[in-house]
Amino acid sequence: MQSEKRGFRRPRMLGQVGLVTGGGSGIGRATAIQMAIEGAAAVVIAGRRQEEGEAVAVECRAMGGEAMFVKTDVTREEDIAHLIHIVTTRFGQLDVAFNNAGFQERRASIDAQDASVYASVFDTNVRSVFLCLRHQVPAMEKSGGGRIVINASVSGVRNPNPGLALYSASKAAVISLMRSAAMECAPRGIRINAVAPGRVVTDMMLASGIADMSSVAAALPLRRMGQPEEVAEAVIWLASDEASYIVGHVLAADGGFLAS
């Protein structure tokens, strides 16, 4: 009681098993580390880049829990099935998943893109989410329920990026997929929501072809870019018991972009 009066709170992921796809850098890395900070018993980092993923696992283990990296191409169903098998076999359950892996095309007009670029964008951003849900939902249901957060984007709500039509369309599809899945899975004890980052300083943002980042930041209500750790906090909150009555929601972590 005394600790509650002083404002202390129970760690949001105490004793739970978390999974982050695309966990080697950016928002994925920040979320994996935040899971560990919030008391996760185990954090599993999935991605294609071994060295980056292993480094994040080391950072997570430094917080006191278990962590491991599983090399995974999220566009391949056999990789996703293998990933979930490893998680449930080694740790016995899957409580929280952050489906974060994403890909953004090079900035160009729609007539300058080709079918192979379309496939890369939609396979990574949409098909992978479907494949993750397809295997995560049964695993969570078997252990009594769970929470899934999907990384969408403000671009899926309002397209601020001329030249990135495929990325924006894929993120709109992700939001629609999330909402349908959320309605189906809520009665089964699985809450599904999405986070929609805005202008956040990640490798993807820095490679997006924006010439003047300072002018972009100045146009936001907060007058600054976001940091991956700020989005990670939103993800953890959505996956926590504090958001126990929130289902099918898109939480914009965007510095006020959508409100302006």
The pLDDT of residue 89 is 98
In CATH, what number is assigned to the domain containing residue 194? 3.40.50.720
pLDDT bracket for residue 203 (50, 70, 90) = low
91-100, 158-167, 199-208: which is most confident: 91-100
**Is the model's pLDDT at 135 over the cut of 70?**
yes
pLDDT (mean) for 36-59: 97
Residue 25 belongs to some domain of the structure: yes
167 is annotated as an active-site residue? yes
The pLDDT of residue 110 is 94
Residue 11 belongs to some domain of the structure: no
Residue 259 belongs to some domain of the structure: no
pLDDT (mean) for 153-162: 84
The pLDDT of residue 1 is 40
- Cβ-count burial 101-114 (b if 16+ within 10 Å, e if not): bbbbbebbeeeebe
Q: Could you give the CA distance from residue 138 to residue 144 in angstroms, rounded to a whole number? A: 10
**Is the model's pLDDT at 137 over the cut of 80?**
yes
pLDDT (mean) for 131-142: 98
**Is the model's pLDDT at 2 over the cut of 50?**
no
The pLDDT of residue 221 is 72
The pLDDT of residue 3 is 42
Residue 70 belongs to some domain of the structure: yes
pLDDT (mean) for 168-190: 98
| Radius of gyration (C-alpha) of the chain in whole angstroms | 18
pLDDT bracket for residue 4 (50, 70, 90) = very low
pLDDT bracket for residue 6 (50, 70, 90) = low
Residue 136 belongs to some domain of the structure: yes
Residue 10 belongs to some domain of the structure: no
Residue 68 belongs to some domain of the structure: yes
Catalytic position from the list 98, 122, 167, 257: 167
pLDDT bracket for residue 207 (50, 70, 90) = low
Q: Domain range holding 31?
A: 17-253
The pLDDT of residue 224 is 79
Number of independent structural domains in the chain = 1
Mean pLDDT across the chain:
91
Read off the pLDDT of residues 91-114 as tens digits, 9 standing for 90 and up.
999 999 999 999 999 989 999 999
pLDDT (mean) for 196-204: 78
Share of the chain above pLDDT 70, in %: 91
The pLDDT of residue 158 is 87
Residue 2 belongs to some domain of the structure: no
Max Cα-Cα span within the chain: 63
The pLDDT of residue 201 is 72
Closest by CA position to 80, among listed 35, 51, 47:
47
